[in-house]
Amino acid sequence: MTAEIIDGKAIAATIREEIRQEVAAMQAAHGRVPGLATVLVGARKDSETYVRMKKKACAEVGIASFGHELPADISQDELLAVVEGLNADPAVHGILVQLPLPDHIDDEAVLAAISLEKDVDGFHPLNIGRLSMKRRDPLFVPCTPKGCIELLDRSGIEISGRNAVVLGRSNIVGLPVAMLLLHRNATLTVCHSRTADLPAMVRQADILIAAVGRAEMVKGDWIKPGAAVIDVGVNAIDDANDPRGYRLVGDVAFDEAREVAGAITPVPGGVGPMTIAMLLRNTTDAAVRAFGG
């Protein structure tokens, strides 16, 4: 068996086109478009790259973007004042504070200060709390977990009644995606560093979400034949044959796993493009609510 490759780039491109058409319709109906504000504190190269990609994606679908690049030594009160200003700005429908923030800033306080109606990252405590409860739908779901579920849905992979294993328990991916799977009636197992006989636990999965941040940790013989594997990991490993001196791999040993799995995402080109697509989706949904449907 050779697995079907779940092409995140192609699926994300389809979603972006759907959003582009929605935004054009909003412009025609309301004379306004969704607006996304990004807040970047300091000069981390990786964060700068992520923000630049998000701005480019907004431009491609017609979403207005507003960049706020702030010094690394900004005080917490000054940063909170920027967030409050964006909360009050009617042109802004989504606010994204790029993490991580400098050590002297309380991340939780900043995320909690974002208006619930503009929390397009889905990290506000109330959105996460609603996600953790039955019949309490959040306004927004975090983008990477949402993208994982969208990949399964658009690939025709049934979730209800299946055994789902989430490898990793981070607040950003592992725990939210576990809640989404549970809400979709999967039978859920969350594995982590203290899990006994991890390969045996993973081998039970009809659906595996790997989000642990360890390069190629999940081997081919960990995979249940025919399973759907969503690999969230992005890890750099040394590679003298690559001009950069490294290459990117996931948490799953792809070449081994694809010979066992029924469907699998590559790295890169799997979950990554979906994260930005879901950010655009959340921002558009926020504007729909603001414009009254």
| Catalytic one of 118, 119, 121, 146 | 121
Task: Give the pLDDT band of residue 46 (cuts 50, 70, 90).
Answer: confident
Q: Is 121 a catalytic residue?
A: yes
Decide: 290 and 30 in contact? Cβ < 8 Å: no
Q: pLDDT tens-digit profile of 246-275? A: 899 999 999 999 999 999 999 999 999 999
Whole-model pTM: value is 0.95
Decide: 179 and 146 in contact? Cβ < 8 Å: no
Q: What angle do CA 118, 121, 125 make, to 5 degrees?
A: 80
Average pLDDT (71-84) is: 97
**44 pLDDT more than 90:** no
Task: Give the pLDDT band of residue 173 (cuts 50, 70, 90).
Answer: very high
What pLDDT score does 292 carry?
85
Q: What percent of the chain has pLDDT over 70?
A: 99
Question: Which residues make up each annotated binding site for NADP(+)?
Answer: 168-170, 234
Task: Give the pLDDT band of residue 293 (cuts 50, 70, 90).
Answer: low
Question: Which residues make up each annotated binding site?
Answer: 168-170, 234
Domains of the chain and CATH, by start: 32-115 (3.40.50.10860), 143-272 (3.40.50.720)
Between strands 246-249 and 4-5, the pairing is: unpaired
Could you tell me the end-to-end alpha-carbon distance of the chain, in angstroms, rounded to an integer?
Answer: 46
Task: Give the pLDDT band of residue 45 (cuts 50, 70, 90).
Answer: confident
Q: What's the mean pLDDT when you consider all of the chain? A: 95
What pLDDT score does 135 carry?
80
**16 pLDDT more than 70:** yes
Structure tokens, 201: 């636990």
Average pLDDT (35-48) is: 91
